[in-house]
């Protein structure tokens, strides 16, 4: 704004209050205005029409006795048509708005528990805005918007809430880990049971195949060599297998030394043991 030679300039987004001998005369819009100061005209002051913001920190207590600091952000502006009321009727606009914010927050928050304060912060902001709009409109101000931008519980309460949350998450993680280990143990046991079942089934089939093969060999040998008994054929087959096994052990480069009794009597004992084992395997297969 500037004043020279009886002219006065009002900048954009501002209005000026013109007085005549100390009495309100009119509101000057942005532009250049003639102001004959010699006739008693003067500018009492200027008023910005821009949106202004006021952040108010209010400490209060919730219903569950937790002290919190609520930060409210109030956006307001002067109304051009009521600029005279905004200029003359209020001496401390920001202080007046702050008092109304304190009054509404301290009347609303103590009715709510801490969790509800966080959940209903928009309702608190709406209550503050309605109360401010009703009160400040008579003084030439418009409340553009009111926001609850932050809710800060006491430090000890915040720490306790974080510990409770952390403990709950650890409990869930422990349950999930235990459930996963349980599933692994069950699957492992099921796999071992299935493996043992299949292994037993394979051994039984192997023994049955050996018995069938020996039977076919005995029958074929008896038919081709008259006068031989089944026992003679079986002894010969077992002795042949015995020598084949010894040959494989000796031919294997990875085999360690093996001491076994060797002689006619030992061979007869081994034949008897193998025969008994095969007969027991055949009996077990028939039971299955």
| Same domain as 140, residue 161 | no
pLDDT value of residue 227: 66
Q: What is the distance of C-alpha 51 from the center of its chain?
A: 40
Residue at which a domain ends, from 90, 118, 153: 153
User: Which of the residue ranges 48-62, 190-204, 267-281 would you say has the lowest mean pLDDT?
Assistant: 267-281
Mean pLDDT to the nearest integer, 50-78? 90
pLDDT value of residue 126: 92
Predicted TM-score (pTM) above 0.85: no
Mean pLDDT to the nearest integer, 195-213? 80
Nearest to 68 by CA among 12, 10, 148, 134: 148
Structure-token match 């609303």, residue found = 108
Domain range for residue 106?
A: 52-153
Residue at which a domain ends, from 97, 132, 153: 153
Average pLDDT in the chain: 80
How many domains does the chain contain in total?
3
40: left (phi over 0), alpha (psi -120 to 50) or beta: left
pLDDT band at 2 (very low <50, low <70, confident <90, very high): very low
What are the C-alpha distances in Å from 73 to residues 31, 90, 148, 176, 202? 32, 20, 6, 43, 80
- 31 vs 161, residue with greater confidence: 31
| 238 C-beta neighbours (distance < 10 Å), count | 20
């Amino acid at each position: 704004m500037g004043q020279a030679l009886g002219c006065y300039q009002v900048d954009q987004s501002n209005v000026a209050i013109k007085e005549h001998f100390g009495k309100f005369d009119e509101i000057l819009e942005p532009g250049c205005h003639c102001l004959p100061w010699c006739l008693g005209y003067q500018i009492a002051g200027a008023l910005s029409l821009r949106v202004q913001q006021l952040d108010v920190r209010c400490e209060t207590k919730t219903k569950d006795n937790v002290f919190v600091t609520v930060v409210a952000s109030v956006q307001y502006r002067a109304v051009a048509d009521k600029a005279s009321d905004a200029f003359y009727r209020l001496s401390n606009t920001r202080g007046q708005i702050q008092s109304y914010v304190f009054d509404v927050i301290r009347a609303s928050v103590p009715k709510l528990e801490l969790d509800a304060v966080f959940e209903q912060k928009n309702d608190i902001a709406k209550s503050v805005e309605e109360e401010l709009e009703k009160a400040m409109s008579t003084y030439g101000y418009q409340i553009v918007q009111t926001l609850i931008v932050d809710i800060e519980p006491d430090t000890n309460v915040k720490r306790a809430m974080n510990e409770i949350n952390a403990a709950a998450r650890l409990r869930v993680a422990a349950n999930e880990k235990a459930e996963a280990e349980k599933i692994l143990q069950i699957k492992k046991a099921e796999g071992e049971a299935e493996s043992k079942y299949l292994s037993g089934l394979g051994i039984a089939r192997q023994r049955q195949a050996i018995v069938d093969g020996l039977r076919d060999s005995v029958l074929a040998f008896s038919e081709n060599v008259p006068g031989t008994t089944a026992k003679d054929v079986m002894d010969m087959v077992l002795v042949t297998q015995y020598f084949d096994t010894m040959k494989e052990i000796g031919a294997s480069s990875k085999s360690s030394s093996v001491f076994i009794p060797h002689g006619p009597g030992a061979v007869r004992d081994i034949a008897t043991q193998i025969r008994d084992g095969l007969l027991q395997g055949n009996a077990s297969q028939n039971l299955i």
